Amino acid sequence: MTSTEPLLDVRDLSVTFTRKGGPTVRAVDGVSFTVRPGETVSLVGESGSGKSVTSLAVMGLLPRRGVQVGGQVLFDGDDLLTLPRDRLRDIRGRDIAMVFQDPMSSLNPVVPIGVQVTEVLERHQDLHGEKARAAAADLLARVGIPDPTRRLKEYPHQLSGGMRQRALIAMALACQPRLLIADEPTTALDVTIQAQIIELLKELVQDTGAALVLITHDLGIVAGLCDTVHVMYSGRVVESAGRRELFARPRHPYTGGLLGSVPRLDAPRGAPLHPIPGSPTDVLRWDRGCAFAPRCQNRVDACTEGPPPLESYAGRSLRCLNPLTESEEVSA
């Protein structure tokens, strides 16, 4: 299903925001992961954990001022962080596409949908005129937009949120990207529409062998769609594993806490929820210890004496000094 050479190889990525007079915020702090063709990799975590900043850094979409980016983002061997702007723009248009939570932000509000989709087709597939228009209608139909010929003439505000998201995915399909980065692509949508979009993403990966990076806070989506999962907390990856291993045996107390917090549709009524105490804003700075320590029920003294290292074993990476054991996982 997947070849062994990574298409995207993110190494030790860090992003620091500095504001005049304000504190320095290290939003992403030494994040590494790889994505192979045909593979779906997911970044999960709560708000503020650094998922979006990671994806923007990979795409080179962060503002230049007040932002320092460190590490490497290797795409097919080229470091996107040091590539000249025009080469980066080429790759971004041709090989990498991105879908955001708010599709409105990526669509031009004053240009009809049809023109926006045909533009992409003209640029990437060298189709023109009537041919491009027919191909655009085809694409809209493929992503499940009813009455595509009429929709092509409409402006983004005339479409519902779900339809706008599908139009955006249609444009992503038009580029035939090798890598698609989707940041909370269904968070603003209803579950019935979400299910349609998830199916589309699955098809894209299966039919074209594209690699997919999916950013979400929804563990249910991860469970059904991803091959590899990276759990982020406060700017760092705290646990990575294949989705089956991760869900069957969460080792990091934060991963276990997340799984214990989500109600399940198939759980018996009254099955207790086990929330994580405190809030994601109660964090320790990583240089002083484990950021999760203020909320962690497994905390030991060493946790607040220095940053726990990310250790890899048996296909899993874990950043924790006192991980969950088999018996604790059950209660988590």
Partner 1 sequence: MSDDDVLLSVRGLEVHFPIRSGILIERQIGSVKAVDGVDLDIPRGATVGLVGESGCGKSTLGRAILRLVEPTAGTVTFDGTDLHNLAGEDLRRMRRQLQMVFQDPMASLNPRQNVQSVLSEPLRAHGIGGDHAARVRELLDVVGLPASAANRYPHEFSGGQRQRIGIARAIALEPQLIVADEPVSALDVSIQAQVVNLLEELQDRLGLTYLVIAHDLAVVRHIADVVAVMYLGGLVEQAPSDDLYATPLHPYTKALMSAVPIPDPEVEDTRQRILLQGDLPSPADPPAGCRFHTRCPFRQPTRCADERPALRTVPGHPEAHTVACHWAEEIEAGRIRPDAAAVVAPNPQHASDPAA
Ligand X SMILES: Nc1ncnc2c1ncn2[C@@H]1O[C@H](COP(=O)(O)OP(=O)(O)O)[C@@H](O)[C@H]1O
Question: Residues in the site for Mg ion, rule: CB under 5 A?
Answer: 52
In angstroms, give the least distance from the CB of 302 to partner 1. 24
CB-nearer residue toward Mg ion: 205 or 232: 232
Residue entry with tokens 């998201």 = 165
Strand bridging mode 228-233 / 40-44: parallel
From candidates 196, 208, 261, 322, binder to ligand SF4 by CB under 6 A: 322
- Interface residues with partner 1 (CB under 8 A) are 1, 46-47, 144, 146, 160, 162-163, 190-196, 198-199, 202, 206, 217-224, 227, 242-244, 247-248, 257-267, 269-271, 273-277, 279-281
114 is an interface residue for ligand SF4 by CB under 6 A:
no
Give the three-state DSSP class for 127.
Answer: coil
| CB-CB contact of 143 with 166 (8 Å) | yes
Question: What's the rounded Cα separation, in Å, for the pair 329 and 311?
Answer: 19
Task: Count Cα atoms within 13 angstroms, Cβ side, for 148.
Answer: 20
186 is an interface residue for ligand SF4 by CB under 6 A:
no
| Selected range binding ligand SF4 among 194-202, 213-221, 258-266, 288-296, rule: CB under 6 A | 288-296
From candidates 14, 40, 42, 49, binder to ligand X by CB under 6 A: 49
17 is an interface residue for ligand X by CB under 6 A:
yes
Q: Could you tell which of ligand X, ligand SF4, Mg ion, none binds residue 32, using a CB distance below 5 to 8 A set by kind? A: none
47 is an interface residue for ligand X by CB under 6 A:
yes
Task: Count Cα atoms within 13 angstroms, Cβ side, for 247.
Answer: 16
Question: Which residues fall within 8 angstroms of residue 94, CB to CB, at 6 or more apart?
Answer: 124, 175, 177
Max intra-chain CA distance, the chain: 69
Q: At what angle do helices 191-208 and 161-174 cross, to 10 degrees?
A: 10
Q: Could you tell which of partner 1, ligand X, ligand SF4, none binds residue 209, using a CB distance below 5 to 8 A set by kind? A: none
| CB-CB contact of 219 with 61 (8 Å) | no
320 is an interface residue for ligand SF4 by CB under 6 A:
yes
Question: What's the rounded Cα separation, in Å, for the pair 172 and 267?
Answer: 37
51 is an interface residue for ligand X by CB under 6 A:
yes
Cα–chain center distance at 57? 12
240 is an interface residue for ligand SF4 by CB under 6 A:
no
Start-to-end CA distance of the chain, whole Å, equals 33
27 is an interface residue for ligand X by CB under 6 A:
yes
**Footprint on this chain of ligand X (rule: CB under 6 A):** 17, 25, 27, 45, 47-53
**Footprint on this chain of ligand SF4 (rule: CB under 6 A):** 253, 290, 292-293, 296, 298-299, 303, 308, 320-322
